[in-house]
Structure 1
């Protein structure tokens, strides 16, 4: 078998979808209703494509020691185009919230509390697992100074915004997570830009929120040079306006729109080897705008099982790298993994797919959802604490 055949990728998607179907039935879970069901359904498939993308990288990595995009436009786009669309989802949903708040004040405290509770808890779990893997790989010996280790760990705690550091002297530490953390600083960039974007959306903001937003954006642009990754966020903003057109929403729900999206993606595969350019971003934006408006790819994206799978997207995205590392490094061993035929290798990845879905399901049920349910509680506590602090200062001044 060709190691870059699309057949294993399709099989893995089917296996993952069927696993989600089993879990939904076994747990009695029903995906939450949403205005944008097709977006909910898209998420899970995007995360799975990133998993397949990194699995294909691992196939060559165990043989060459070089971590780079696979020599296939299909498998390269699975990762790069998927992350671009994740960025579009972020900007579409949150810029859409600003448009829905035209003329109204935005509750910035609650919004940022919700982002912290959505992103941070599972991320800390992943960092803990990564750190454990690092020390296991270095025989649980401290191979750098304690201060150097603390400084390097701080970079990871800050989502590798300033740089991606090796931990405890382990070369290519990022491989443990498949390097997926790189996208999170760009997510935070967009969240930090929201008070400024509120002006363009017509929502009311505050001088404090604007000041903090501008300060954080200045820091971002000082350190971040990969500005091509900001383009997909513009695509999401375009979609936020487009879905407010009733005629466009009507067209987006037709079978022709589904066919058009599939043809657009096929054109991207045929004409470009990677997704990090403006032409590809533009074509992906056209497809995404349709999906946001209701194009469901012949019912696939709006199906309850797809939306149930979408609930687990963040877990799939963050956990799959560590799972791949564990299997390749510890279960099989890199030497044995390198000796597998293409068919045997993809059989291993296919066997991992149900386990990954179950891990992501557990993550969503026991880490992510409980954390998100505390947004209002923590918002009230922080509001009370800020009022208490301000009141104490006023009393001291008086």
Structure 2
């Protein structure tokens, strides 16, 4: 079956907009992180929870898009559609990471200038596949599974979630899915209360604990997103885009809970947000409606740029982080560079979308038709 046999369904416009809001917050979080003295002092302290929000959105949207299509769609066709949607920008993110690598030289990773070009190219090609690189190819020293473009780790787990959905989850009843969500939620709570910093942050490394974090962060939100769609318990309210966006911003900007002496309170906060607050936000967003053309255009724009920004911004963040570390520039003196870098990340993402992602996806779809 060709990939264009199944027509695309209408999107949930507010969910698209929320995805863009969360992506912009991720960029801001990473920029602020360059100035942070540690997790307790980070501005937009819980910005990393955007990844968990993305997993929840993914489960909801995939269930909406594909649950009723399996009678006329093969597993292979599903994987083709997902690869066409995600893989071109994965490749672009790795290319940008390779092109900018030598501009990232810093005291943070003093061996960059010694890395041979062949090794960068090898890491880039492996990165095209999202297969994690071994420790022998850790060209930065941060133990990232994708050292040219750190956020590639979340796409790695996104693909695992897609595989689980196609092979198993699509067949699960709501009862089975509820049971698995409960088990996964329990594992999430255990994770947030037992890790040294009582947080879900992590998942980007092949170390055993990091793999546990990555799997746990993916499982509950994705299962819960599929279950939320199948339950159909949406919450229609007025101004749903405003309120859901505000709730996402508040959740991600919340200061560290409990301080250094009561870290477990932060674990409880993150568990509450992922287990209950994020599904509540998605229920509001999916149950709401766009009332005017301006809001519709904003949501469409934010939805369009969300993925390109997310998967291309971090090579630029490496440069900004290196500059801050080398010059020791405080945030109150770096605000112009901060704003410029933030806008540059948006511009790079938007340019990649228009000049590369959309044309490439159209070309691939036409070739497979």
- Normalised to the residue count of structure 2, the TM-score between the two structures is 0.69
Distance 1:239 1:302 in 2: 25
Q: CA deviation at 1:240?
A: 1.1
Q: CA deviation at 1:321?
A: 1.2
RMSD across aligned C-alpha pairs, in angstroms? Answer: 4.0
Q: CA deviation at 1:48?
A: 0.6
1:191 equivalent in alignment to 2:162: yes
Distance 2:244 2:114 in 1: 56
Identify if the C-alpha distance between structure 1 residues 256 and 197 changes in structure 2 by more than 3 Å, giving closer, same or farther. closer
Structure with a larger share of its residues in helix = 1
1:45 is matched with which residue: 21, 30, 44? Answer: 21
2:317 is matched with which residue: 320, 324, 333? Answer: 324
1:101 equivalent in alignment to 2:69: yes
For residues 77-116 of structure 1, what are the structure 2 equivalents within 5 Å? 77-78=46-47, 80-101=48-69, 104-116=71-83
Deviations 1:49-88 (A, max 9, x none): 110111111113xxx7xxx64634x62322x221111111
Q: Is the 8 A contact 2:124 2:148 kept in 1?
A: no
Identify if the C-alpha distance between structure 1 residues 173 and 326 changes in structure 2 by more than 3 Å, giving closer, same or farther. farther
Unmatched runs of 5 consecutive residues or more in structure 2: 1-7, 106-110, 175-205, 258-264
1:171 equivalent in alignment to 2:141: yes
For residues 162-311 of structure 1, what are the structure 2 equivalents within 5 Å? 166-167=137-138, 169-172=139-142, 174=144, 179-195=150-166, 196-200=168-172, 224-226=211-213, 227-230=215-218, 231-242=220-231, 244=232, 248=234, 251-254=235-238, 262=246, 266=250, 269=254, 273=266, 277-282=270-275, 283-294=277-288, 302-311=295-304
The DSSP-based 3-state class of the residue aligned with 1:59 is coil
- Normalised to the residue count of structure 1, the TM-score between the two structures is 0.64
1:376 equivalent in alignment to 2:344: no
Q: Is the 8 A contact 1:155 1:162 kept in 2?
A: yes
Q: CA deviation at 1:361?
A: 1.3
1:76 aligned partner:
45
The DSSP-based 3-state class of the residue aligned with 1:192 is helix
1:11 aligned partner:
none
Q: CA deviation at 1:194?
A: 2.3
Deviations 1:153-189 (A, max 9, x none): 665344254657654x443375976721221111001
Number of matched residues? 309
Identify if the C-alpha distance between structure 1 residues 96 and 350 changes in structure 2 by more than 3 Å, giving closer, same or farther. same
1:209 aligned partner:
none
Unmatched runs of 5 consecutive residues or more in structure 1: 1-31, 203-219, 381-398
Identify if the C-alpha distance between structure 1 residues 260 and 51 changes in structure 2 by more than 3 Å, giving closer, same or farther. closer
2:32 is matched with which residue: 43, 47, 56? Answer: 56
Q: Is the 8 A contact 2:27 2:342 kept in 1?
A: no
Q: CA deviation at 1:130?
A: 2.3
Q: Is the 8 A contact 1:77 1:275 kept in 2?
A: no
1:129 aligned partner:
96
The DSSP-based 3-state class of the residue aligned with 2:333 is helix
1:315 equivalent in alignment to 2:308: yes
Identify if the C-alpha distance between structure 1 residues 275 and 162 changes in structure 2 by more than 3 Å, giving closer, same or farther. farther
The DSSP-based 3-state class of the residue aligned with 2:41 is coil
Identify if the C-alpha distance between structure 1 residues 83 and 260 changes in structure 2 by more than 3 Å, giving closer, same or farther. closer
Identify if the C-alpha distance between structure 1 residues 152 and 160 changes in structure 2 by more than 3 Å, giving closer, same or farther. same
Q: CA deviation at 1:362?
A: 0.8
Identify if the C-alpha distance between structure 1 residues 134 and 241 changes in structure 2 by more than 3 Å, giving closer, same or farther. same
